[in-house]
């Protein structure tokens, strides 16, 4: 019967997955009783299959953990920003009152709004969570953590072989080096993968940074729907980062075109 | 099926067991319990990073325990996670070999029955080594194995996401990768030592 199977691994894997006929199952069981090396191979294979499932689950939980921690950091940043904004808000109200007399706040805003300003107000660098005990850190992650953006970008091709995390870090590195068109390419590839696989891997972060990249390149029509959906979704990890005023500014920028 | 928001213990169990809305359930566990359980770690010599690591490990263990049908619901999920976090952190401290007097006193109050004995130090070490072995595989191997065995995708679906010629090539590659992983595990001295220790304790 072994001729039906390319090797012992395939035979044992099919045995573990119960994909053999009853006769073949009995044959393997007899061999296992007699051959301690085969039994050892079977136990190693069982552990290998468990390891793959454990690794898959750990990666899923790690992604949720990273998104949760990033959300926490943003909330804290936002609280601080909120304090600054609240002062700014009252200052703006006073200014607005003065501007109503002189003209209109909107007019001033229209005159002063720029993609660079919106970008600078909303952008903050993404930080990878601190390295975990016992976890593996890839070269790409090490380059990202040590701000070696070009080294990260050197590992991006072929794009089809990159994981979602790598595409995300690649897009962020491209932003850091001013290669905004390339950042868009990487982020859009990530979103396309998520759509195809019905996943949400690094979805929130990508939507936020992709919107900022579009703004940087003056493509407000593409940035606005992303900011709108982030602003509407209270569970979006970057929800607190996008405000109604940002949406208004994008509209004004479109009028200025 | 809960489509987001708050989960009762029963809804959490169902989402994890049936693998429907599992990630929403895990997000809820983070929202509900991360802050309180992480302070358990940081109040007992742990750093913020330790708390993140331990909580992540606890969630992975919890999901597996529920999916294996080993969580019988004799305590609330909150109590169970608390006991799991406490035992995992104590094991980590032991592993690091820096058990302080304070931690020893703290250990005296550890729950004896909340966590099955099989979730002991040795198993945790084996799990770490198993993950390290997967980490030593190449990216393409890791991807094929994860897509097939974890995500349950077909050869055809995997073929569409890779640059291999046909599904037979993918199938061969999958077995080659599986064999490579089994060999890495077979040659891992720490796994072998821990297995011997477990055999010894169980009187085999």
ipTM: 0.84
Contacts for B177 with CB less than 8 Å, ≥ 6 apart: B137, B140, B141, B142, B144, B145
The domain made up of A113-256 has a fold known as: 1.25.40
- What string of pLDDT tens digits covers the 257 residues of chain A? 444 445 789 999 999 988 999 999 999 999 999 998 998 889 889 899 989 999 999 999 999 998 888 877 767 666 666 555 566 667 777 777 777 766 666 777 777 778 888 888 888 888 877 655 555 678 888 899 899 999 999 999 888 889 999 999 999 999 999 999 999 999 999 999 999 988 888 999 999 999 999 999 989 889 999 999 998 888 888 888 888 888 888 888 878 76
From A165, A129, A53, select the one nearest B61 (Cα to Cα). Answer: A53
Q: Which of B23, B151, B179 sits opposite A64 (nearest CB)?
A: B23
B19 near A CB under 8 A:
no
Shortest CA distance from A45: residue in chain B: B182
Q: List the domains of chain B with CATH numbers.
A: 9-114 (1.10.1740.10), 123-201 (1.10.10.10)
Shortest CA distance from A11: residue in chain B: B175
Q: What is the reported pLDDT for A256?
A: 73
Mean pLDDT by 10 residues, chain B (204 residues): 72 90 92 91 90 94 89 87 90 73 52 37 75 91 93 91 89 93 90 73 56
Q: What is the reported pLDDT for A102?
A: 63
Q: What is the reported pLDDT for A29?
A: 93
Answer whether A44 sits within 8 Å of B186, measured CB to CB. yes
Residues A142, A178: contact at Cβ < 8 Å?
no
Determine which of B34, B134, B168, B172 to mutate to test the interface with A (most A C-beta atoms within 10 Å): B134
Distance CA B68, CA A130 (A): 31
A34 near B CB under 8 A:
no
From A137, A134, A138, A188, select the one nearest A159 (Cα to Cα). Answer: A188
Per-window interface: B 93-122 vs A, CB < 8 A: none
Answer whether A53 sits within 8 Å of B150, measured CB to CB. yes
Please report the number of interchain residue pairs, chain A to chain B, with beta-carbon separation below 8 angstroms.
126
Structure tokens at A158: 């072929």
* CB neighbour class for A135 (10 Å; exposed up to 12, middle 13-18, buried from 19): middle
Please give the radius of gyration of chain B, using alpha carbons only, rounded to the nearest integer.
20
* CB neighbour class for A197 (10 Å; exposed up to 12, middle 13-18, buried from 19): middle
Answer whether A130 sits within 8 Å of B132, measured CB to CB. no
Mean of pLDDT over chain B: 82
A65 near B CB under 8 A:
yes
Shortest CA distance from A64: residue in chain B: B27
Please give the radius of gyration of chain A, using alpha carbons only, rounded to the nearest integer.
26
Q: Is the dihedral of CA A215, A220, A224, A225 positive or negative?
A: negative
CATH 1.25.40.10: which residues of chain A? Answer: 113-256
Q: Which of A45, A52, A161 sits opposite B146 (nearest CB)?
A: A52
Q: How far is CA A248 from CA A10, A81, A121, in A?
A: 60, 19, 14
Q: Which of A50, A160, A163 sits opposite B163 (nearest CB)?
A: A160
Per-window interface: B 130-149 vs A, CB < 8 A: 130-135, 139-140, 142-143, 145-146, 149
Q: What is the reported pLDDT for B118?
A: 39
Q: What is the reported pLDDT for A215?
A: 93
Structure tokens at A188: 């859009």
């Amino acid at each position: 019967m072994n001729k039906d199977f390319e090797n012992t691994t395939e035979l044992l894997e099919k045995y573990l997955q119960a994909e053999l006929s009853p006769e073949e199952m009995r044959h393997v069981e007899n061999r296992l009783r007699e051959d301690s090396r085969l039994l050892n191979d079977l136990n190693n294979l069982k552990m290998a299959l468990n390891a793959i499932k454990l690794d898959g689950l750990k990666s899923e939980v790690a992604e949720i953990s990273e998104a949760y921690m990033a959300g926490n950091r943003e909330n804290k940043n936002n609280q601080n920003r909120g304090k600054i904004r609240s002062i700014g808000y009252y200052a703006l109200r006073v200014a607005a009152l003065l501007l109503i007399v002189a003209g209109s706040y909107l007019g001033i805003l229209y005159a002063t709004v720029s993609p660079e300003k919106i970008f600078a107000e909303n952008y903050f660098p993404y930080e990878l969570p601190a390295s975990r005990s016992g976890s593996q850190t890839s070269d790409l992650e090490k380059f990202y953590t040590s701000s070696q953006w070009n080294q990260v970008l050197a590992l991006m091709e072929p794009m089809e072989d990159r994981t979602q995390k790598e595409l995300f870090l690649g897009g962020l590195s491209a932003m850091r080096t001013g290669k905004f068109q390339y950042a868009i390419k990487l982020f859009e590839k990530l979103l396309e993968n998520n759509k195809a696989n019905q996943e949400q891997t690094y979805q929130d972060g990508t939507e936020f940074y992709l919107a900022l990249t579009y703004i940087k390149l003056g493509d407000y029509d593409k940035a606005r729907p992303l900011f709108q959906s982030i602003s509407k979704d209270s569970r979006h990890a970057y929800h607190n980062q996008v405000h109604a005023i940002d949406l208004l500014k994008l509209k004004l920028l479109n009028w200025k075109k | 099926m809960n489509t987001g928001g708050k989960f009762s213990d029963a809804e959490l169990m169902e989402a994890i067991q049936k693998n429907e809305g599992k990630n929403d359930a895990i997000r809820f566990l983070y929202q509900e319990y991360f802050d309180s359980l992480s302070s358990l770690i940081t109040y007992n010599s742990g750093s913020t990073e330790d708390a993140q690591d331990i909580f992540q490990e606890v969630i992975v263990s919890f999901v597996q325990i529920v999916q294996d049908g080993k969580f019988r619901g004799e305590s609330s999920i909150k109590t169970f996670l608390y006991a799991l976090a406490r035992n995992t952190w104590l094991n980590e401290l032991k592993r690091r070999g820096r058990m302080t007097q304070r931690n020893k006193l703290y250990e005296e109050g550890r729950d004896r029955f909340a966590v099955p004995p099989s979730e002991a130090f040795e198993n945790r070490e084996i799990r770490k080594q198993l993950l390290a072995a997967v980490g030593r595989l190449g990216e393409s191997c890791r991807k094929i194995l994860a897509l097939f065995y974890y995500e349950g995708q077909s050869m055809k679906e995997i073929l569409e996401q890779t640059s291999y010629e046909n599904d037979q090539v993918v199938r061969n590659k999958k077995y080659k990768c599986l064999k490579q992983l089994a060999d890495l595990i077979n040659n891992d001295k720490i796994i072998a030592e821990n297995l011997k220790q477990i055999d010894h304790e169980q009187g085999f």
